[in-house]
Amino acid sequence: MIRERRLLRLKRFDVLEAELLIRGRRIKKPYIRNNNCVEILAVTGKGKILLERSYRPDVNSFVYEIPAGTLEKGEDPRRGAIRELEEETGYVADKMQFLFAGYPMLGYIDCNSHFFLATGLRKMSQRLENDEDIVVSEFTPEEVLRMYKSGKIKDLNVLPALYHYLYVTKKGRRVTPYIAP
């Protein structure tokens, strides 16, 4: 990278433009810089998955998604997952297990998403932020897969979290997680 400049600063992210030298040419590429994120697959004692339904103005629709959120500056991902789960769903987990991490939109945003499995759930009360209106419901894994297949679930983060739970964690297989720098 030759240099980068901020085009826009907002509460949750910055829009930057990187100037690069690619094959001898100067190229400008915009991207979003954001704090890292957490995604939580919360599973009840009866094996049901918690999904949130909320309005998302970026797609002008109500959507189902797993609990998620942006980490505070310098916040440990596990602590962020615990905080986001309680704030958004009103549940506290006895166990918050790291599943995997990665970049869901390379080339557009630098957010590294850390996925967790929350179990041993106890209901407390939601602590929603001013801009949140979230309804939490429970679904079987089969219902979640049907909702995804039918297009009812559009959040692509649901599928890898559910897959990891069903085919890696639940089956007892161990996968060495890659933790991105």
Q: Any residues with CB less than 8 A from the CB of 65 and at least 6 apart, and which?
A: 51, 52, 54, 153, 155, 157, 158
Annotation marks residue 132 as catalytic: yes
**Tokens standing for residue 175:** 């996968």
Which candidate, 82, 99, 77, places its Cα nearest to that of 174?
99
**Of the residues 17, 75, 132, 138, which is catalytic?**
132
Which candidate, 45, 61, 43, places its Cα nearest to that of 53?
61
- Measured in degrees and rounded to the nearest 5, phi and psi for residue 81 equal -65, -40
- Residue 67 φ/ψ region, left for φ over 0, alpha for ψ in the -120 to 50 degree band, beta for the rest: beta
- Catalytic residue IDs: 132
